[in-house]
Amino acid sequence: MSDSAEQSGLVVTEAVPADPSAVEGGGGDAKPKLSPKNYVNLAAYAANIALVYGIGNAGWLGTPTNGDLSDKYQTLVTPNSSAFSIWAVIFMFQGLFAVVQFLPRFRSHPMVADGLSWWYNAVVLTQIGWTISFAYEIVPLSLAFMVLIWLSLMTILYRQYYAKSDGTS
């Protein structure tokens, strides 16, 4: 510690991970380990884009597309079939997340490890469930999946709000 730090009463310590087993390597180049959550998040993204796009837009199951069903079920809040193009943007940002969460800076960051936890996968599973139920025109079940998607997203929002973070990443 420098003389000026001692005179000011400033105490400088090195950062030590709470769980030493969560760090690869040692010394100054230590990197957080990848966790199963990182790999499951990537697999969930791949399944989500394949199934939601394949079933909802490409009609892989021989069912109508989301756009066709949107045109069929007109209500006061039914979007135009072109509104489903927003999924391209959603999938792009989910893909960005799926890749970025592998970087050492984010792989064990509290916003990913604790804030998302396994809830991203709950969102993905409910999106897939909604896509299948909507494709088969089981409207009450698709509504239940929509509520579950919303609850899962709200849980992520709540958990990230309370995740311990130093605000640097």
Segment 108-145, tens digit of pLDDT: 888 888 888 899 999 999 999 999 999 999 999 999 99
Q: Per the domain annotation, does 169 fall within a domain?
A: no
Mean pLDDT of all residues belonging to the chain: 83
Residue 152 has pLDDT above 50, yes or no: yes
Give pLDDT, residue 18. 45
pLDDT digits (tens, 9 = 90+) for 79-109: 777 777 888 899 999 999 999 999 999 998 8
Tell the residue number behind the tokens 């969102």, with chain if given.
Answer: 123
What pairing do the DSSP bridges indicate for beta strands 23-24 and 31-32?
antiparallel
For 31, the 3-state DSSP assignment is strand
Higher pLDDT, 165 or 64: 64
Give pLDDT, residue 34. 92
Q: Say which residues have a Cβ less than 8 Å from residue 97's Cβ, sequence separation at least 6.
A: 41, 45, 120
Q: Tell me the pLDDT band of 14, cut-offs 50, 70 and 90.
A: very low
Residue 19 has pLDDT above 70, yes or no: no
Residue 88, Cα to own-chain centre: how many angstroms?
Answer: 16
Q: Per the domain annotation, does 158 fall within a domain?
A: yes
For 23, the 3-state DSSP assignment is strand
Q: Per the domain annotation, does 29 fall within a domain?
A: no
Among 30, 4, 8, CA closest to 19: 30
Distances (CA, A) of 125 to 34, 45, 118: 22, 10, 11
Q: Per the domain annotation, does 15 fall within a domain?
A: no
The beta strands (E) that lie in the chain are given as 23-24, 31-32
Residue 25 has pLDDT above 80, yes or no: no
- Residues of the domain holding 55: 36-163
Rounded Cα distance, 72 and 61, in Å:
18
* Number of structural domains found in the chain: 1
Q: Per the domain annotation, does 10 fall within a domain?
A: no
Tell the residue number behind the tokens 């960051």, with chain if given.
Answer: 109
**What's the pTM?**
0.76
**Is the Cβ–Cβ distance between 53 and 61 less than 8 Å?**
no
**Is the Cβ–Cβ distance between 82 and 115 less than 8 Å?**
no
Q: Per the domain annotation, does 22 fall within a domain?
A: no
Q: Per the domain annotation, does 151 fall within a domain?
A: yes
First-to-last alpha carbon distance for the chain, in angstroms, is: 27
Q: Per the domain annotation, does 118 fall within a domain?
A: yes
Average pLDDT over residues 64-76: 85
